[in-house]
Amino acid sequence: MDTYIQKHFAGALAYKELIRCLKWYMDCSAELIRQDHIQEAMRALEYLFKFIVQSRILYSRATCGMEEEQFRSSIQELFHSIRFVLSLDSRNSETLLFTQAALLNSFPTIFDELLQMFTVQEVAEFVRGTLGSMPSTVHIGQSMDVVKLQSIARTVDSRLFSFSESRRILLPVVLHHIHLHLRQQKELLICSGILGSIFSIVKTSSLVVAPHPTPSALPRTGVTPARGRPAKSALYTSQSEKLSSVTGRCPSEWRPVCAQQATQHNSTQSCCF
């Protein structure tokens, strides 16, 4: 399929209809009882975006970049529809829940395609808005909580997150959702894995990021290290300082979350930093 898209696909105008159909599917997701066709489209999101991007590239080459603003506007409108789907309350609709899960599973696969057409900062803004549209609750249902965190984990592991410019944009919303689960003691293993990935990326990054003022991404959790455990204290202090080097925040702002992560690390021995 990739070979066909790159070497043989010639639909220079196809992107317009693909975007229109995708947007229509998502806008109708709150009304339709049967959503099998919508879920199939969500599962195929990666290749739908491959076709969209390749089609736009062909059209741009043929017309010397005509209708660039219209294309960018249509993608922004499509993301408004994506956020609409994820913002819906699916607690009383199993069908809608499956649609949201299919969308979240496929969502990280489109980042590389978007990076062909937009800057790192622009793609990061798309992703931040999408992740931020998810309900800030942890009682939707265990399965949906897992899908949501798995999508965040794949976002952190994506090429997009390797850029310091995108990390500045994405870290607040990523840590917001992690904080919600840590506060409720839910899905601790997945949260630990995400934090471990973040710390690993920060540690191995060779980029020096200048501090810049931004609002705190996390409220204090009230979690404090147990007395008589200096090793754990040193662990989460070190981790918080690594994370703050990316965001320019005071290390103390990250310590409550890192303390929770360190506690989980000691109890499970399942994550490494």
Helical ranges in 157-205 per DSSP H: 164-183, 188-204
Between 124 and 32, where is the model more confident? 124
Q: Name the DSSP letter for residue 160.
A: G
Report percent pLDDT > 90 for the chain.
Answer: 55
Question: Does residue 204 register a pLDDT over 50?
Answer: yes
What distance in Å separates the CA atoms of residue 85 and residue 77, rounded to the nearest whole number? 13
CA 271 to chain centre: 21
**Per-residue confidence (pLDDT) for residue 55, from 0 to 100:** 95
Give the confidence band of 272 by pLDDT, cuts at 50, 70, 90. very low
What distance in Å separates the CA atoms of residue 214 and residue 253, rounded to the nearest whole number? 12
Q: What is the mean predicted confidence (pLDDT) over 112-118?
A: 96
Residue 27, token pair as written in the block: 């806008």
Question: Does residue 224 register a pLDDT over 90?
Answer: no
Read off the pLDDT of residues 141-155 as tens digits, 9 standing for 90 and up: 567 889 999 999 999
Read off the pLDDT of residues 72-81 as tens digits, 9 standing for 90 and up: 999 999 999 9
